[in-house]
Amino acid sequence: MILVTGEILFDVFPDSRRMGGAPFNFAYHLKQLGFPVRFISRVGNDDLGNEILTFLNTHGFNPQDIQIDEAHPTGTVRIDVQSKGEHTFTIAKDMAYDYIDAAPIYQLLSGTTPDLIYFGTLIQRTQNNFDLLQKILHKKSSETISFCDINLRPDCHTRQTITASLHGADILKLNTDELQSLALGTDAQASHEMIAAQLMKTHGIKTIILTMAERGSQWFTLDSGHHIGSSAVSLDIADTVGAGDAYAAMSVAGILKNMPLEKIIPLAAEFASHVCGIHGALIQDAAVYQTFKKKLER
């Protein structure tokens, strides 16, 4: 079982809105790829929350895993489109997902040991959720992999949040800007490999996945140095929202299937590139997932 705790919200574009949130995008992809996923989040008792509940029920998620908040609204993010498919994000504060109740998660974990726990940093912007995530990580079995997807949105993280997340991660995924932000005390001219090595040494991280947009990716590991991923598959870019979440999901799929990195890296790049070729983060064509499921079995 894969446990994902985090935000589900609506990305509000100038002319439309789409369901999103990095943890939800990640969970959705793995669910459609056939993995057992429990996605824990919280929505408001409002129209947006009801829309989310209907969507999750339709796509096979456990409705009991989504909490209803009577005091706070369903989360939203305003997205402004820039050139070349890039975006800027304005994340609404004091949303329902900022107040996840810990009790149902502890009850779930009392009866099962997850294969992997996914977490990000946005969900930890409140003390309530920070304490919840850190307790889960501290109590997890040594058999459970912890996967952290750093997301350094302005005013949505603190040094305490980042440090604790790094300490709690077996696998860390981040982009080049985020890697540079974490390179405190490292030579400004240091290579990606040097910064990653310092992070792994300082925080006990076993694997770092560095995504580099059109330049592909690099994976750094304690036991075998680093592997350079292939460049992204050439596709017309509709937008880049959710591409990193797709890469993370396919990476975890390959890891849990015990595939070698030489196969995981190009497969994750191909999947992320497919998401770049559609509008929004969620693939609606079930045939796409069937194709990638077959590739995971090779």
The CATH number assigned to the domain holding 284 equals: 3.40.1190.20
φ, ψ for residue 74, nearest 5 deg: -65, 140
* Cβ atoms 76, 10 nearer than 8 A: yes
Distances (CA, A) of 48 to 59, 91, 183, 246, 278: 17, 16, 39, 24, 23
What was the pLDDT predicted at 186?
59
Q: What is the CA radius of gyration of the chain?
A: 18
pLDDT per position as a tens digit, 190-217: 888 889 989 999 999 999 999 988 788 8
Number of domain units in the chain: 1
- In DSSP terms, 217 is beta-bridged to 211
In this structure, what token pair is assigned to residue 52? 């989310």
| 116-120 and 145-149 strand pairing | parallel
Domain, as residue range, for 15:
2-297
In this structure, what token pair is assigned to residue 54? 């209907």
What was the pLDDT predicted at 284?
86
Distances (CA, A) of 51 to 73, 75, 211: 13, 12, 32
What was the pLDDT predicted at 279?
72
Question: Residue 185: pLDDT band by 50, 70, 90 thresholds?
Answer: low
pLDDT of residue 165 exceeding 90: yes
pLDDT per position as a tens digit, 15-64: 888 899 999 999 999 999 999 999 999 999 999 999 999 999 999 999 89
pLDDT of residue 106 exceeding 70: yes
pTM, to two decimals: 0.92
